[in-house]
Amino acid sequence: MEGFTHPSDADRELNELRVRAYGPDHDIDGDPRALARLRELEAAHLADVERREDAAASESSAAETVKAAVPAVALNEAQGSPEPGRAIAPLSQPVKESSLRPLLRRAMRTWWGRLARVAGMLVVAAAIVVAAFLISAPRPDATLRLTAVEADDQVRTLVTSAERAGRYGMDPSTLRAYGSYHGFNVWSGVNAFGSPCLVAVHRAFDYLSRARCAPFPADLIVDVSSSGDGLDIPAGDGIIRFIRRGDTVDAYVYLLPEAD
């Protein structure tokens, strides 16, 4: 029957000696060997009882540990399996971590919000600087655009033989026209060194006024003046500055102050 265990020989012997020691007809005092055997069996029985109590206490502690770990395991499964070799945290620790998550999310939102505001302020500041630069930068008086006009013999001759252009070694086949401004035809080309060039030709005077070559990406700038270049500015004396910007050439007129 479940729960019933047959007494061992030692248990039966202990019971018999107990009857002789504590029963109504006790006679163990006259038997030293039986008395010594009783003491031996009593000590063994006491040790066995203590061992069983310790085992029961260990089993109870293990059961409590399992009960405490079950909610933690369920929580870990809901959050994701723990890393291999990592101990399962007790229930109190995930609860504390979960209580910190809203604070962490709030802190992250605050941090990202501040970062977004700073980035927005930087963008606005950059836009203001660019706008101020564009407003303060001088505007060209005219913008000459690239045309399909081919260089004729007059322009080719001026570019290849004129003293001002000859030292640059420009290739006439690379000449491209940008139109005219105040009597000057503006051309671009490439010299023998592969550098772009800018040329201002005055057709009426059959004269190459200015030429300049510079390696990319240096700005190509040519200045023609009212003294010596045949420039005629109705508003007075001054210069015209031609600046090549890709497929366009900007022209700026700078008047000289009148003498008192």
Domain ranges of the chain: 9-78, 91-137, 142-255
Task: Please check whether residue 159 is in contact with residue 175, taking contact to mean a CB–CB distance below 8 angstroms.
Answer: yes
Q: Summarize pLDDT for 199-217 with one digit per residue, the tens.
A: 888 888 887 878 888 888 8
Phi, psi of 20 (to 5 degrees): -70, -25
Secondary structure (DSSP) of 110-146:
HHHHHHHHHHHHHHHHHHHHHHHHHHHSPPPSEEEE-
Q: Summarize pLDDT for 34-91 with one digit per residue, the tens.
A: 888 888 888 888 888 888 887 777 776 666 665 555 555 445 554 555 555 455 455 4
Tell me how far CA of residue 41 lies from CA of 29, 50, 224, in angstroms: 16, 14, 129
Please report how many Cα atoms fall inside a 13 Å half-sphere around the Cα of residue 112, on the Cβ side. 6
Residue that the structure tokens 């033989």 belong to = 161
For the record, the structure tokens of 107 come out as 């802190």
